[in-house]
Amino acid sequence: MSDRELCQAAYQEMYRAMITRDIPALSRVLDDSFVLVHMTGMRQPKSAFLKAVANGTLNYASAEHDSMEATVHGDTAVLIGKSRVRAAVFGGSWHPWRLRQDLQLVKKENRWLIALAEASTY
Protein backbone atom coordinates (compact mmCIF):
# COMPACT_ATOMS: atom_id res chain seq x y z
CA MET A 1 0.00 0.00 0.00
CA SER A 2 1.14 3.54 -0.68
CA ASP A 3 1.45 6.07 2.13
CA ARG A 4 -1.69 7.77 0.82
CA GLU A 5 -3.61 4.50 1.03
CA LEU A 6 -2.24 3.83 4.51
CA CYS A 7 -3.51 7.25 5.65
CA GLN A 8 -6.93 6.42 4.21
CA ALA A 9 -6.83 3.07 6.03
CA ALA A 10 -6.09 4.88 9.31
CA TYR A 11 -9.17 7.08 8.76
CA GLN A 12 -11.32 4.02 8.09
CA GLU A 13 -9.89 2.20 11.11
CA MET A 14 -10.66 5.19 13.33
CA TYR A 15 -14.33 5.02 12.34
CA ARG A 16 -14.48 1.22 12.60
CA ALA A 17 -13.05 1.38 16.11
CA MET A 18 -15.41 4.21 17.15
CA ILE A 19 -18.45 2.27 15.90
CA THR A 20 -17.46 -0.97 17.63
CA ARG A 21 -16.03 0.80 20.70
CA ASP A 22 -12.76 -1.00 20.15
CA ILE A 23 -10.77 1.26 22.45
CA PRO A 24 -7.43 -0.59 22.09
CA ALA A 25 -7.62 -0.33 18.27
CA LEU A 26 -8.71 3.31 18.46
CA SER A 27 -5.83 4.08 20.79
CA ARG A 28 -3.36 2.44 18.38
CA VAL A 29 -4.45 4.57 15.40
CA LEU A 30 -4.27 7.85 17.38
CA ASP A 31 -0.98 9.51 18.20
CA ASP A 32 -0.39 10.28 21.88
CA SER A 33 -0.62 13.98 20.96
CA PHE A 34 -4.08 13.47 19.38
CA VAL A 35 -6.69 16.20 19.80
CA LEU A 36 -10.23 16.21 18.43
CA VAL A 37 -11.60 19.67 17.73
CA HIS A 38 -15.40 19.39 17.84
CA MET A 39 -17.71 21.52 15.70
CA THR A 40 -18.33 23.64 18.80
CA GLY A 41 -14.62 24.40 19.06
CA MET A 42 -14.19 22.19 22.12
CA ARG A 43 -10.75 20.55 22.13
CA GLN A 44 -10.68 16.97 23.41
CA PRO A 45 -7.32 15.25 24.01
CA LYS A 46 -6.80 11.56 23.28
CA SER A 47 -7.50 10.29 26.82
CA ALA A 48 -10.78 12.22 27.09
CA PHE A 49 -11.84 11.17 23.58
CA LEU A 50 -11.19 7.49 24.29
CA LYS A 51 -13.13 7.74 27.55
CA ALA A 52 -16.07 9.46 25.79
CA VAL A 53 -16.25 6.70 23.16
CA ALA A 54 -15.92 3.96 25.80
CA ASN A 55 -18.65 5.34 28.09
CA GLY A 56 -21.10 6.25 25.32
CA THR A 57 -20.82 10.03 25.55
CA LEU A 58 -19.87 9.77 21.88
CA ASN A 59 -21.93 7.01 20.18
CA TYR A 60 -21.37 6.01 16.57
CA ALA A 61 -23.59 3.50 14.76
CA SER A 62 -22.37 3.67 11.17
CA ALA A 63 -20.18 5.55 8.71
CA GLU A 64 -20.27 5.55 4.93
CA HIS A 65 -17.24 7.25 3.43
CA ASP A 66 -17.91 9.57 0.50
CA SER A 67 -14.31 10.71 0.04
CA MET A 68 -10.87 10.52 1.60
CA GLU A 69 -8.39 12.92 0.00
CA ALA A 70 -4.90 12.43 1.41
CA THR A 71 -1.77 14.45 0.65
CA VAL A 72 1.54 13.13 1.96
CA HIS A 73 4.59 15.31 2.69
CA GLY A 74 7.38 13.05 3.95
CA ASP A 75 6.45 11.88 7.44
CA THR A 76 3.36 14.09 7.71
CA ALA A 77 0.07 14.01 5.87
CA VAL A 78 -3.24 15.79 5.62
CA LEU A 79 -6.44 13.88 4.96
CA ILE A 80 -9.86 15.41 4.35
CA GLY A 81 -12.48 12.76 4.94
CA LYS A 82 -16.17 13.19 4.21
CA SER A 83 -18.46 10.55 5.69
CA ARG A 84 -22.14 10.11 6.33
CA VAL A 85 -22.25 9.16 9.99
CA ARG A 86 -25.08 8.11 12.29
CA ALA A 87 -24.27 9.29 15.80
CA ALA A 88 -25.68 10.32 19.16
CA VAL A 89 -23.36 12.62 21.06
CA PHE A 90 -23.37 14.30 24.46
CA GLY A 91 -26.74 12.87 25.46
CA GLY A 92 -28.53 13.83 22.25
CA SER A 93 -30.65 11.57 20.10
CA TRP A 94 -29.45 9.64 17.06
CA HIS A 95 -28.97 11.77 13.95
CA PRO A 96 -27.39 11.40 10.54
CA TRP A 97 -24.42 13.71 10.04
CA ARG A 98 -22.50 14.66 6.93
CA LEU A 99 -19.25 14.81 8.86
CA ARG A 100 -16.03 16.25 7.48
CA GLN A 101 -12.84 15.43 9.33
CA ASP A 102 -9.70 17.39 8.53
CA LEU A 103 -6.92 15.15 9.81
CA GLN A 104 -3.23 15.69 10.38
CA LEU A 105 -1.26 12.46 10.45
CA VAL A 106 2.31 11.63 11.41
CA LYS A 107 4.39 8.64 10.38
CA LYS A 108 6.15 6.96 13.29
CA GLU A 109 7.94 3.63 13.06
CA ASN A 110 6.38 3.03 9.62
CA ARG A 111 2.82 3.54 10.93
CA TRP A 112 0.51 6.45 10.13
CA LEU A 113 -1.09 7.91 13.28
CA ILE A 114 -3.79 10.55 13.53
CA ALA A 115 -2.51 13.55 15.48
CA LEU A 116 -5.36 16.02 14.95
CA ALA A 117 -8.96 15.77 13.79
CA GLU A 118 -11.04 18.88 13.17
CA ALA A 119 -14.75 18.12 12.71
CA SER A 120 -17.20 20.10 10.63
CA THR A 121 -20.10 19.34 8.32
CA TYR A 122 -20.37 19.33 4.54
Q: What is the 3-state secondary structure (H, E, C) of the chain?
A: CCHHHHHHHHHHHHHHHHHHCCHHHHHHHEEEEEEEECCCCCEEEHHHHHHHHHCCCEEEEEEEEEEEEEEEECCEEEEEEEEEEEEEECCCCCEEEEEEEEEEEEEECCEEEEEEEEEEEC
pLDDT of residue 24: 98
- Residue 56: pLDDT band (50, 70, 90) is very high
What's the predicted TM-score (pTM) here?
0.96
* Spatial CB neighbours of 31, under 8 Å, sequence gap ≥ 6: 46, 106, 108, 113, 114, 115
Q: What is the pLDDT of residues 29-48, one digit of tens each?
A: 999 999 999 999 999 999 99
Q: Hey, where are the domains in the chain?
A: 3-121
Q: What is the pLDDT of residues 71-121, one digit of tens each?
A: 999 999 999 999 999 999 999 999 999 999 999 999 999 999 999 999 999
- Stretch 53-67: mean pLDDT: 98
CATH 3.10.20.740 fits 3-121, yes or no: no
- Stretch 16-34: mean pLDDT: 98
- Stretch 56-78: mean pLDDT: 98
pLDDT of residue 76: 98
